[in-house]
Structures are given as C-alpha cells and as structure tokens.
Structure 1
C-alpha cells in the first residue's frame, strides 16, 4: 500500500513538473508587431497623417474642422472639441512654440483588437524635447484614439 502511494505521488510530481511544449508557444501570434512600411495601405497612411496634422494645426490657427462619422469613432468625435483642444494648445504653444509638421516613424499593429497605431514625431518651433503623436486606426479605418506623449524610441502599449 505504501509503495503504491509513493508511486502515485512520484507520477503526480513528474507530471506537474512537465514543461509546455515549445510548438504551442510559437504558434501564438504576438500581441503587437511593428509593420514594414510596404505592409501598410498608402491611403490609410495618408488618412492618419491628415487627421493627425489637422489636430495639431489647430494650435497654430485656432480653427478646428470637427471629425465626421466617416473619419472617427463617436468617442473621438465627442472628445475632440475646440474647447478641449484650445486648452491643450495653450500649454503646447507656451512650452513648445508653433507646430511645424509630423513625421511617420513606425506603424504598430495591435493583434488583440486589430488596430494600427501610427507613431509620428511631432516637430515644434522649440526643439528642446521631442513629442510623439499616436493616431490609432480601427478595422473600419476610423480614428479610434489620438494620444500625445513624450517621444520614446521603443513603443510601449
């Protein structure tokens, strides 16, 4: 009886210590991946650039053409009002000066929600710090998020 009990414990211990096979781990798709420039639809690139630049140009002109339902999700439309942009622009104008342009650095695909995040370096009059503009496009090719942060070389979700 004791020998049977020891054999069962030994088998249970060995099966608990068994590692996962590497073939199942390699078949899972990465949560995020950086896309090559050729993999991104040129029309989508252009649309993301135009919409991102439209937001940042508001700081220079104090005029904002609101997004349409074909360009952005309802949440983005509700959150990008002239009043909200104006308060942000006041801070940016004082700190960074006039907005000049944005340059596309990379496109990151989020495989969990199938969105593409366009990462731009924003150029301002004063160059003491580098800013980033992230324009997130969903499956319907609409802006689902816009975010401005300090630039970091490696994308962190």
Structure 2
C-alpha cells in the first residue's frame, strides 16, 4: 500500500513540474513596448504631441497657461495640470535651469498593451549643465494621457 501511495505522489509531483511555454520562441507575440521609426508615426499625432508638450513648458517663460480641452487631454491630465501646480514647478525650473528654449523629439515608443505612444523629447534650457526629458504619452484616442519630466537617460525606463 505504501508503494502505491508513493507512486501516486511521484506521478502527481512530476505532472505538477511540467514546463510551461514562456513565449521566448513564440514569434507571433508582439513585445510590450517597441521603438517606432520616424516614418511609422502619424504626422498629425507627432505635431499634436509636440505642440502640447511645448505649451506646458512655455508656461514657465510666460506664466500663462491655456488649459487643455477634453479633445486634447484626458480628464485626469486636465485636473492635474492647473496653473498653480505648473507655477510651483516652473519656479523651481527657472531657478535651476533658466528659461525654456525648445524640445527635440528623440524617439517614439509604442506601448502595445494599451496602444499608446510615448513621445520622448530632450528639453533645452538656458543653462545646459543637465539634460532634461519631457515624456508626452498619447492614448489610443490621440489625447494626452500623461506628461512627465525627468532627467535625460539614453535608454527608456518605463
């Protein structure tokens, strides 16, 4: 009887240890994120992301901000981008980096999970001792879903 129980436990153990397919060799699955070539990007979407990103950073120079509309941004972004919040961030940036000059598109990353596009810009300021990055995330409805400013890194870090 002990041998039968041990044999059943061994069979149960071996069946529980069967390997799963990890998808490493599955060529039909798309990666979660991918860098797009410049010609793969809709020019209207590229222009819209540039305009909205530059509008945010120009607020630091002019102290005037035209709020986003519901056609330009999601409700969450509209609620979070107020003149008061931008002013507090801008005062820090003006002291540290000087006047904002322009942004240069470096790459566009497509997030295949939610079909959004992340536009990575290098932000140019008066003082050039550190490179800043502006990320503008456009969702599948071509609305701004997120705006993020960080120190520049050559490799995208989600």
Q: TM-score, normalised by structure 1?
A: 0.90
Where does residue 137 of structure 2 map in the other structure?
A: 136
Q: What does residue range 31-42 of structure 1 map to in structure 2 within 5 Å? A: 31-42=32-43
Distance 1:109 1:100 in 2: 27
Distance 2:64 2:43 in 1: 27
String of CA shifts for 1:40-89, please: whole Å, max 9, x gaps. Answer: 21110110001000111111122222211111112212221222212211
Where does residue 16 of structure 2 map in the other structure?
A: 16
Distance 2:133 2:4 in 1: 65
Q: What does residue range 5-154 of structure 1 map to in structure 2 within 5 Å? A: 5-22=5-22, 26=26, 27-154=28-155
Secondary structure of the 1:156 match is coil
Cα RMSD for the two superposed structures:
1.8
* Deviation of the 1:25 alpha carbon: 6.9
Structure number with higher helix proportion: 1
Secondary structure of the 1:55 match is helix
Where does residue 2 of structure 1 map in the other structure?
A: 2
Runs (4+) of structure 1 exceeding 4 A deviation are: 22-25
Secondary structure of the 1:108 match is strand
**Compared CA separation, residues 75 and 19, structure 1 to 2 (3 A):** same
Number of matched pairs: 157
Distance 1:24 1:87 in 2: 46
Unaligned runs of 5+ in 1: none
Distance 1:156 1:24 in 2: 22
**Compared CA separation, residues 91 and 24, structure 1 to 2 (3 A):** closer
Q: TM-score, normalised by structure 2?
A: 0.89
